[in-house]
Structure 1
Amino acid sequence: DAVVGAVRPSAAAAARRAEVFAFVANVLTKLCRTSKVFAFGSVPLKCYLPDGDVDVTAIFPEERAPDGWAQRLMQAVERARLQHPQRSALEVGEVTLINAEVKLVKLEVGGLVVDVSVNSAGGLCAMLFLDAVDGFIGQNSLFKRSILLVKSWCFYESRVLGAHHALLSTYAVETLVLFVFNHFGARLERPMDVLHALLGYFGSFDWETHGISLAGPVALGGGGVGVGPAGAGGGQAQPRQLGPPGRVDGAEPLEGLADFLHGAVVKFAVLPGLPGAGEGDQACGERSAGGAGRGRKVFQCKQVNIVDPLLPSNNLGRSVSKGNMHRIRRAFAAGHKWLSHFLRGGPSVDVEMEMQHFFASTLRRCDAFPSQARDLERVSLAGVDENSCAAPAFVEARASSFIAHHSEPEGVMAAGDGGSARGMP
């Protein structure tokens, strides 16, 4: 809890990100007046690290964004740069176009990195889904506090977090945390228990023969890894198929969570009719040949296979390379061994000192962010503010409205805010 207290968002950090979001949202809505702008990901969930960026998406009522939106945004940001001199709170830095699987405009505003995409419906759905899970689990936002602790260890200590470096994506890590709650939740009382259980289970997980879903491990069938759908491209190998979920040894599930997850997955599923379904960062399922992205979506097996709870055709582990798959497993195994040593070491083990070593890089990094760091000696479970991990109500209201509109067959989104974007509270 001391480590969680050190990295959890402070009021100053939240206000800074709200100001940056409002700036970017105003640029977007003035540029694309038919869009609505949302923050998604770790910022509205209040689960971001001190180094965390801001994910922003513009949702268009049409299925596709206007041609050239990224170039127009970059030009608009360059003009805005002239209005905010150097060393101002909203100084605009480097602007880069990322022509990846999901086109992004990456910019730096006020010292924060902002990733701008369009029609990332999957990101909005995932955000609402995770927030709903945290509400069900409760216990002073145990789920979100656990995400913060696990992300801190994965990013600062083991260096296994970062999809752009062929490592795990944030949503993949969050899904692994949720898997742990789904199967071992009855014995989880604090974030450290969650980290220990996650490292133990996945430190020995056989990624070569199995993938993972919320329901359990899934066996990978025969065929070539990462190939296209059967029959596509003339004589390709059959794609590897996922088997039914298997048994989880030693499971102690949290009462009612499995039933809740079943309902939540149905409620927040990334529907094919949503604009951007399968195109956003957290909903990028590959599609079979069928024309204009309307073909049958196929789960593409990679080195690490993690089934997206909201879009089963989406592999959340697709970013991980073969070498990094082995590195991640070794890091988890070593972390579990070390953590087990001082959690079960008895009176001869100086737990406080061991904890400082285990999270040495995290605590050093927090010292570089005094507005986000906390006095570790004063942090306790009772001192963790539950509201600091709560998603702003307006995000749920606006995103839920968006999802409700597009869940109807002929539903379309209303026009944007006419250039007056509202910032995050």
Structure 2
Amino acid sequence: MLEINPLSIDSELWLMAEHRIYEILSCIQPASASEKKREEVISYISRLIKAHYSCEVFAFGSVPLKTYLPDGDIDLTVLTHQSIEEGLAKGISDILQGHEHDPMFDVKSVQYIEAQVKILKCLVNDISVDISFNQMAGLSALCFLELADQIMGKDHLLKRSIILIKTWCFYESRILGAYHGLISTYALEMLVLHIFNIFHSSLNGPLAVLYKFLDYYSSFDWDNHGVCINGVIKISSLPDIVVELPVENGSRLLLEPDFYNYCKETFAVPVNELDSGRHEFVVKHINIMDPLSYSNNLGRSVSRGNFHRIKCALSYGAQMLRGVLNGPGEYIGKGLEKFFTNTLGRNGTGQRADANRPVPAFGTGRSDACDLSGDYDRCHSGLLQGQWYHSYRLPDHFHNIPSKKSNIFSWTGQNGHPQKGTKAFLQRGLPGLCPCPSKRCTTDIDGLGNLRGTGTYIPDMVSLDTLTFYNTVAQNTHLIYFSQTFKLGCCRIVIKKYGPG
């Protein structure tokens, strides 16, 4: 039978299929009950640590990004001096072990992994928690993905697609998990972002993204090419980076080079946060270029044996989904349920692994889904504190995203593109740190209160009085250009930056 492109099937059948996918997603995506439980665990551990040590604790990864699965863990990082990481890790381990009989929070299975990257693992109220130290690369990636999601809009289509594709990779094909020589979560997110950036004009729902993901990567030539967000790279050209666009792409990129340059500068991390001594992209079985560090191969975790397993899983998945979508219309819904049979068997019964109370079972109603908007300001303030704390060069500009109430981020133009020439005036405070070391700077004293502990204290981010700032959409880009001048203590700072349009 002649294969049909599912994106060209009857529109009513396609809408029906997308509707069934949203029903499946309702069992998986963050719900109010799971969000509350995870926030309680994060707050509990943060209070424990900060009650004993002068440090800051930030969440990163899928929880603050709100793309976690019900079985997903919580990633926390502690910002501190690198010279005391080992002692601090052991101290926190002792604190957690001392609270294993806490009547409110069931802490157990505390494990300290003393490696190059020190990690504490534990279970708190049956949710797995990983505590790392000075994981600024994780905070950087979080800022980048949150910003990309805001630019793409469409009711968080990027995040919903990441959740759906992670679901298939984890529950159905078992190809997700860097610890097991499989694809890391961040690598998978960059593969999804590559699909969005190149084929965004034809992607209007999570199912469309899932199909394009499977169809595209099932036939991808991994032996000769790697993936970067704005195209494919020729392995033979390395260390020079030669980027080519897929032949089938007929539209412009959604995220243009200026956006990456801005993010690389704004979300930069110290060199020692990256693999030591690595300045060139090291070729592996699967090659995925980190947009924030071109020398970082996100596919390096994949072993040779698992590489063939991943290729087979993608090929089989593409074949199965194509068969479902090309079959009789009355069977598409049931076919999609079968395509996610393990997912529904695990999460469609009304019990979530990360919720204290039952949720509606699949087919009986939808869970009280939470808003997928992340707290970008807090994400970026954590990164700024880490940069400042480790005496890393702060960017020439601080980054701030206007609130959703401004409606600046909706795709108002044709095919989801922002309209040109839009202007907006906003009043809003901007979190930041004073880069001036002068003791005369009033922000070194005002609003900090009493210092805690005996070590170096990282103050909370200072809210700044700001002037009205002017936003204008550049004529030849999808980004908005911001300019702002404000006074911080004795410093006068001019901010010029790109943000989502």
Give the alignment's TM-score, normalised by structure 1. Answer: 0.80
Q: Residue 74 of structure 1: CA displacement? A: 1.1
Aligned mate of 1:408, from 385, 391, 394 = 394
Distance between the aligned counterparts of 2:230 and 2:68, measured in 1? 27
Distance 1:297 1:81, change over 3 A: same
The 5-angstrom pairing of residues 186-265 of structure 1 reads 186-221=201-236, 241=239, 243-253=241-251, 256-258=254-256, 261-262=259-260, 264-265=262-263
**DSSP 3-state at the match of 2:161:** helix
State the shift of 1:401 in Å.
4.0
Which residue of 1 is the match for residue 73 of structure 2? 53
Q: Is the 8 A contact 1:211 1:305 kept in 2?
A: yes
Cα deviation, 1:293-346, whole Å, max 9, x if unaligned, reads xxx633222221111111112111111100111111111111111111122334
CA distance in 2, matches of 1:64, 1:322: 36
Q: Does 2:44 correspond to 1:23?
A: yes
Of the three residues 17, 28, 32, the one matched with 2:53 is 32
Tell me which residue corresponds to 1:323: 305
2:276 maps to 287
Give the structure 2 partner of residue 75 of structure 1: 94
Relative distance call for 1:398 and 1:18 in structure 2 (3 A) is: same
Give the superposition deviation at 1:126: 0.7
User: What is the rounded CA distance, in whole Å, between the counterparts of 2:374 and 2:283 in structure 1?
Assistant: 33
Question: How far off its partner does 1:268 sit?
Answer: 4.1
Q: Which residue number in structure 1 is paired with residue 192 of structure 2?
A: 177
1:7-406 alignment runs, 5 A limit: 7-33=28-54, 35-60=55-80, 62-82=81-101, 84-85=102-103, 88=104, 90-221=105-236, 241=239, 243-253=241-251, 256-258=254-256, 261-262=259-260, 264-272=262-270, 277-278=273-274, 286-288=275-277, 297-347=279-329, 350-366=331-347, 367=349, 368-369=351-352, 371=355, 373-377=359-363, 388-392=371-375, 395-396=378-379, 398-399=381-382, 401-402=384-385, 405=388, 406=392
**Secondary structure at 2:160's aligned position in 1?**
helix
Q: Which amino acid aligns with 1:74?
A: S
Q: Which structure would you say has the larger Rg?
A: 2
Q: CA deviation at 1:36?
A: 1.1
Alignment deviations for residues 165-190 of structure 1 (CA, whole Å, 9 cap, x no partner): 11011101111010000111110010
* 3-state SS of 2:27 partner: helix
- What per-residue deviation string (whole Å, max 9, x for no partner) do you get for residues 386-409 of structure 1? x52111355235325426744439
Q: Which structure dedicates a bigger proportion of its chain to strand?
A: 2
**Mean CA deviation greater in 9-18 or 146-155:** 9-18
Task: After TM superposition, give the deviation of residue 218 of structure 1 in Å.
Answer: 1.4
Q: Structure 1: give runs of 5+ residues left out of the alignment.
A: 223-239, 279-285, 289-295
SS of equivalent residue, structure 2 residue 78: strand
Tell me the distance in 1 between the aligned counterparts of 2:95 and 2:182. 32
The root-mean-square deviation of aligned C-alpha atoms, in Å, is 3.0
With the length of structure 2 as denominator, give the TM-score of the two structures.
Answer: 0.69
Q: Distance in 1 between matches of 2:162 and 2:360?
A: 18
Separation in structure 2 between the aligned mates of residue 321 and residue 73 of structure 1, nearest angstrom: 33
State the 1:64 CA deviation: 4.3
